[in-house]
Structure 1
Amino acid sequence: MTLRKVTLNHIVVWQEFLDLLVKNKAELPTFPIWAMEFGATYKYEGIAPYFQKMRDFEEKKGKFGERIIGSSKDDYLQCLPIYAQTNKTEKNRNFPDWKKQFIRQNRGFYEKNKSWIDGWIDKIKGFENSHQKFEWNCGYEEHPTINDKIVQFRPSGIRVKRPTFSPALVLTTTQIPIFPWIVTPKGEIGRYMTRKEAARLQCMEDLKEVPDTIAGAFKAFGNAVNVEVVRRIAEQLLIDYEADK
């Protein structure tokens, strides 16, 4: 299954972000990049926006640093990143600590790098919400490159991992791992993980019967437990059982 043009475009745009980061001698964040926070100034440290008064939004900026405007509180909330609109918070009506930390880190990163981010940011404003987030799970690289990694489009963001570490297999076909560097027999660049590769990851390459659709296969493999893991646990249990006899 080859990649859609829109998927390739996401990879190209985020690679441009990495190239600009290197060019401007910026440090690649170890935390998830939430680009919607770039330029935002809405209040988040105390009570969550959903529970704030309308006056708390005055003179504040929402996602991508755009003005918070409207005639109602609902209008104001729509100007915020989608994860900031929620009423699902902790008991004291605050965001959880991890969310506040990510917001704080992303705003700080933007303040240090807005001179070059501002010229790039418009390219992702039309992306889906989850594709405006980016997770680099590859450690330090002098010239970070997506095209030799494994990519997964997740609800939490576009996740990039080294090719020696596969992302978790999940039930949703939109999250099938991507190999951007592989050239298909048709000469197209980039493709998704195949059913055979997914079976091999779960140590099920000897299976004679595999669902004949991509959706069915990845649903099965995503629900499965790795055969080798089960074997090793079973062997250890048998050893312990014999020792206790």
Structure 2
Amino acid sequence: MAVLEGKTALVTGASRGIGAAIAVRLAAEGANVAITYERSRDRAEEVVAEIEGLGRKAIAIQADSADADAVTGAVDRTAETLGGLDILVNNAGIFPKAPIGELALADLDRALAVNVRAPFVAAMAATKYLPEGGRVITIGSTLADRLVPSGFSVYSATKSALSGFTKGIARDLGPRGITAVLIHPGPTDTDMNPADGPRARTTLATSAVGRHAAPADIAATVAHVAGPAGTFITGSAITVDGGVNA
């Protein structure tokens, strides 16, 4: 029997990359899945079709994660359309990169809205639906803990903030039997950070295993935490980086 049979998940920012891999993996484990996307409607519909091909229900919801009302609406629509919400995966994020003197205040504000405020808002909205055994899983970054190149101050700050968020909601939701986990991916082969991109050589020089992660590597960890094996994992950060931060 699929370990997530009968469960419903919402994965934000899941039209491609890590988010899409997570959505498909949760469906493969038995869950019905809603995803959000900002602009990539066609790619979001491809993910929905892949999930439906696994015999699961799926919907794609257009939502800009910088818009708090859109985030709340996505949570509500998931629960209303798919009959509840058991697993929230906060995956949507943006990746501002520039030295501190070259950043605009708008860059900071949008990064905080998408990378920090949106997970808070989604979790707030989800609390009225999550049952005992529910999960809040948030995707961070190894750049929250260690920076080698310059230009990542804003991104690192937003991902670092998710550590306190995860520990705090683990305390808030623990009495209800709901867990909260932060997963820090390392360099992963996505559109945003391709394995053959300009930073690839630097990345491989810091990796213990000598390669980028595949999105499926991150999705496998999410599926583990979301399933029965994750019942006693909460308030923790799990690093999935091939030894980059070792």
Q: TM class by shorter-chain length?
A: under 0.3
Scaled by the length of structure 2, the TM-score of the pair is 0.21
TM-score (norm 1): 0.21
